[in-house]
Chains A and B, each alone.
Chain A
Amino acid sequence: DIQMTQSPSSLSASVGDSVTITCRASQSITTYLHWYQQKPGKAPNLLISLASTLQSGVPSRFSGSGSGTDFTLSINSLQPEDFATYYCQQSYTTPLTFGGGTKVEIK
Chain B
Amino acid sequence: QVTLKESGPVLVKPTETLTLTCTVSGFSLSDTTMGVTWIRQPPGKALEWLAHIFSNDEKSYTTSLERRLTISKDTSKSQVVLTMTNMDPVDTATYYCARTTYFDIFMDVWGKGTTVTVSS
On A, residues with C-beta under 8 Å from B are 1, 32, 34, 36, 38, 42-46, 49-50, 55, 87, 89, 91, 94-101
Contact = CB atoms under 8 A, between A and B. Distances in A.
A36 B96 CA distance: 14
Contacts, number: 61
A95 B110 contact: no
Contacts of A38: 47
Q: Is the interface of B mostly helix, strand, loop or mixed?
A: strand
B109 to A, nearest CB: 8
A91 B47 contact: no
A89 B52 CA distance: 14
A91 B110 contact: no
Instruction: Classify chain B's interface size.
Output: 20 to 34
Interface string B60-104: 111100000000000000000000000000000000101000001
B16 interface: no
A96 B50 CA distance: 8
B49 interface: yes
List the 3 closest A-B pairs by CB distance, nearest first: A91-B105, A43-B110, A94-B60
Contacts of B62: 95
Interface of B: 37, 39, 46-49, 52, 60-63, 96, 98, 104-108, 110-113
Given A43-B113, A95-B60, A95-B62, A55 B108 contact: yes
B112 A43 contact: yes
A60 B84 CA distance: 40
Contacts of B106: 34, 46, 49-50, 89, 91
